[in-house]
Amino acid sequence: MPCCCSAGFIDYFCRMKQPVRLSLCLLMLMLAMGVHGQQQQKTIIHIERARTQEYDERLGKDIERLIGNVILRQDSTRFYCDSAHLNQKTRNFNAYGHVHINVNDSLDMFSDRLIYNGITRMAEMFDSVRLIDGLTVLKTQYLLYNRLTQVASYPDNGFITSEDNNLTSKKGYYDTNKKEFYFRDDVVMANPEYTAYSDTMVYNTTSEISWFYGPTIIRGKENTIYCEYGWYDTRLDQAHLSKRASIQSMDQTLTGDKLFYDRLTGYGNAWGNVNILDTTNKMLIKGDIGKLWEDEGRSFVTGKAEAIAYDKEDSLHMHADTLFLFFDQDKKAKSMFAYYGVKFYRTSIQGKCDSLVYQMADSTIRMYSDPVLWSKENQITSDSIHIAIVNNTIDSLIMYNSAFIASRDTIKGFNQIKGKNMVAYFVENELVKVIVAGNAETIYWVREEDGSLIGIDVAKTSSMVIRMKNNEVQTINYIQQPSQAMFPEKELPPAEQKLKGFRWLEKARPMSKEAIFQGEEAENPSP
pLDDT for the residue numbered 498: 93
pLDDT band at 42 (very low <50, low <70, confident <90, very high): low
Phi, psi of 37 (to 5 degrees): -65, -40
Average pLDDT, integer, range 327-349: 88
Residue pair 487/455 in contact by the 8 Å Cβ criterion: yes
pLDDT exceeding 90 applies to what percent of the chain?
52
Distance of CA 134 to the CA centre of its chain: 35
Query: Average pLDDT over the chain, rounded to whole?
Result: 85
pLDDT for the residue numbered 62: 81
The DSSP bridge pattern shows strands 267-278 and 229-233 to be: unpaired
Q: What whole-number distance in Å separates Cα of residue 110 and Cα of residue 127?
A: 9
Q: What whole-number distance in Å separates Cα of residue 443 and Cα of residue 459?
A: 7
pLDDT per position as a tens digit, 156-208: 899 999 888 899 999 999 998 899 999 988 899 888 888 999 989 999 988 88
Q: At residue 10, does pLDDT exceed 80?
A: no
Instruction: Give the residue extent of every domain in the chain.
Output: 372-517
Q: At residue 374, does pLDDT exceed 80?
A: yes
Average pLDDT, integer, range 129-155: 93
Phi, psi of 374 (to 5 degrees): -120, 125
The 3-state secondary structure of 64-101 reads EEEEEEEEEEECCEEEEEEEEEEECCCCEEEEEEEEEE
Q: What whole-number distance in Å separates Cα of residue 12 and Cα of residue 4?
A: 9
Residue pair 172/184 in contact by the 8 Å Cβ criterion: yes
pTM, rounded to two decimals: 0.72
pLDDT for the residue numbered 9: 36
Q: At residue 522, does pLDDT exceed 50?
A: no
pLDDT for the residue numbered 12: 33
Alpha helices in 199-238 (DSSP H): none
H/E stretch holding 39: helix 18-41
pLDDT per position as a tens digit, 24-35: 333 333 333 443
pLDDT per position as a tens digit, 265-323: 889 899 999 998 888 878 889 999 999 888 888 888 999 999 998 877 788 899 999 99
Q: At residue 114, does pLDDT exceed 90?
A: yes
pLDDT for the residue numbered 503: 93
State which of 35-39, 357-361, 396-400, 445-449 shows the largest mean pLDDT: 396-400
pLDDT for the residue numbered 321: 94
Residue pair 212/231 in contact by the 8 Å Cβ criterion: yes
Q: At residue 259, does pLDDT exceed 80?
A: yes
pLDDT for the residue numbered 28: 36
Considering only CA atoms, which of 404, 310, 2 is closest in space to residue 10? 2
Residue pair 384/400 in contact by the 8 Å Cβ criterion: yes
Q: Could you please report the per-residue DSSP string of 259-289?
A: EEEETTTTEEEEEEEEEEEETTTTEEEEEEE
pLDDT band at 497 (very low <50, low <70, confident <90, very high): very high
Residue 344: CB atoms within 10 A of its CB come to 26
Q: What whole-number distance in Å separates Cα of residue 71 and Cα of residue 523?
A: 93
Mean pLDDT check: name the lowest of 94-98, 122-126, 432-436, 470-474: 470-474
Q: At residue 19, does pLDDT exceed 70?
A: no
What separation in angstroms does the CA of 165 have from each of 135, 190, 198, 233? 11, 6, 15, 12
Residue pair 319/303 in contact by the 8 Å Cβ criterion: no
pLDDT exceeding 70 applies to what percent of the chain?
91
pLDDT band at 431 (very low <50, low <70, confident <90, very high): confident
- Angle at the Cα of 365 (from 278 to 347), degrees rounded to 5? 80
What separation in angstroms does the CA of 171 have from each of 115, 150, 168, 360? 21, 17, 9, 49
pLDDT band at 14 (very low <50, low <70, confident <90, very high): very low
Instruction: Identify the architecture of domain 372-517 in CATH.
Output: Sandwich (2.60)
Mean pLDDT check: name the lowest of 341-345, 351-355, 467-471: 467-471
- Angle at the Cα of 239 (from 234 to 241), degrees rounded to 5? 140
Average pLDDT, integer, range 239-247: 90
